[in-house]
Amino acid sequence: MSSLETAETFEEMTEAGRRFLQKHPAAYPDNYIRSNLEKFSAFIEDKSYLLSLIYASVYCTQMYGTSLLEFSIYHFAEKSHSERIRYITWESRFLYTAFLNKPSDNHILDNKYEAYTLLKPFYKREAMLLSDENDFERFCSFVNKNSAVFVKPNNMELAIGAHRLVYRGNTLRDTFDALCREAAEISGDEIKRESDHRLILEEQIVPSAFMRRLNPNELSLLRVTTINIKGQVHFFYPCLRLLYGNGKDKTGEDYSCVALIDSDSGEVISNGKNAAGDLDANPVTGQKICGMMIPDWNDLKEMLTRASRMLPTTRYIGWDVTHTDKGWCIIEGNPNGEFFYQMCAGHGVKEEFEDLIGFHLPYDSFRNPIFTKKQAN
């Protein structure tokens, strides 16, 4: 069990986080405080308050398993302990997915090409696996057939290494060799997954008119979580992830927001939410976010119901999907998908989720399981 005591107020969390860093200096990099002060000083001018926020986030990471981003978007600084323990966090989600999913079968979705092969009718685009230099002729044929290609590491998460294909040198061989070097250099992701040093090349998705109206420069998407319980596929807090960058320098979390979708009707039922706060209108178009209707909603639910049932031992999947002129297509599925849609709900979904899956964690299980394991060792 964690040695940390529960804290109610922001001041108590700040002090607990400060003491933790004093007691366990090796738990974070030497420059952790300084680097985060520099990173967030542009957003928060009061350096004393910013330092308190960082200490409080350390406490929440060690107590509840939150990421630094979750601490912000879930507004843990203003919440009581009884409210915080109702959230499923970055770390605690693994306790639930370990119950719902057969870990030895996670490779089906973690390996992007394996998932593509199984679920190809739902991807609605061509793809190839680049393993080594023996794939050169296939590579030439693929890029000659597809004018725009997207490249991803075959088994990475968090969009690590994903990019549009950029041609290098004067020949296709130059580009191919550059990709092989790129694959060899991929080192892993934030959850310590090692790269298998292969790349998947995909025909670039062409968004539908609806998606282009959201932003002509960035591919917005939906995160739709399916939970397969006793053969019935449930849709749990589906949401729209609206990107409002310009396709170049404005990308990532700072230029996106998430809005809840009603699972029955496909209507967007919340404003956009991100770490900065609420957005009632699309920053690109001015269109109101709440009240939008997602097209072909029942078709999407039917597609993901079929896809979910093709993976009977992976009962919890966070699907990233987008809408094209060919209909809905899967971008990828994640067997350990995050619960970030809790920021739209404004409360933790732990009790609702546990009631749905029929699995309830024991008392005190809110304490960070990773921290507990480290302490036990």
Instruction: State pLDDT tens for residues 84-133.
Output: 999 999 999 999 999 999 999 999 999 999 999 999 999 999 999 999 99
Which pLDDT value is given to residue 371?
53
Mean pLDDT across 365-372:
70
Residue 5 has pLDDT above 90, yes or no: no
Most confident among 59-63, 361-365, 371-375 (mean pLDDT): 59-63
Of 70-84, 150-164, 299-313, where does mean pLDDT reach its minimum? 150-164
- Residue 235's pLDDT is 98
Res. 42 pLDDT band, cuts 50 70 90? confident
Higher confidence at residue 248 or residue 21?
21
Reported as a single tens digit per residue, the pLDDT across 179-211 is: 999 999 988 766 667 888 999 999 999 999 999
- Give the pLDDT of residue 66: 94
Residue 372: pLDDT over 70: no
pTM (2 decimals)? Answer: 0.91
Give the pLDDT confidence of 223-273 residue by residue, as tens digits.
999 999 999 999 999 999 998 876 654 444 557 899 999 999 999 999 999
pLDDT for position 284: 87
pLDDT of residue 369 exceeding 80, the answer is no
Per-residue model confidence (pLDDT) at position 158:
72
| pLDDT value at 353 more than 80 | yes
What are the structural domains, with CATH classification, of the chain? 10-97+358-376 (no CATH), 126-203 (3.30.1490.20), 207-335 (3.30.470)
Which 3-state string (H, E, C) describes the chain? CCCCCCCCCHHHHHHHHHHHHHHCHHHCCCCHHHHHHHHHCCCCCCHHHHHHHHHHHHHHHHHHCCCHHHHHHCCHHHCCHHHHCCCCCCCCHHHHHHHHECHHHCHHHHCHHHHHHHHHHHHCCCEEEECCHHHHHHHHHHHHHCCCEEEEECCCCCCCCCEECCCCCCCHHHHHHHHHHHHHHCCCCCCCCCCCCCEEEEECCCECHHHHHHCCCCCCEEEEEEEEECCEEEEEEEEEEEECCCCCCCCCHHHEEEEEECCCCCEECCCEEECCEEECECCCCCCECCCCECCCHHHHHHHHHHHHHCCCCECEEEEEEEEECCEEEEEEEECCCCCCCHHHHCCCCHHHHHHHHCCCCCCCCCCCHHHHHHHHC
Supply the pLDDT for residue 63.
94
Tell me the pLDDT band of 374, cut-offs 50, 70 and 90.
Answer: very low
**What number is the average pLDDT over the span 61-72?**
92
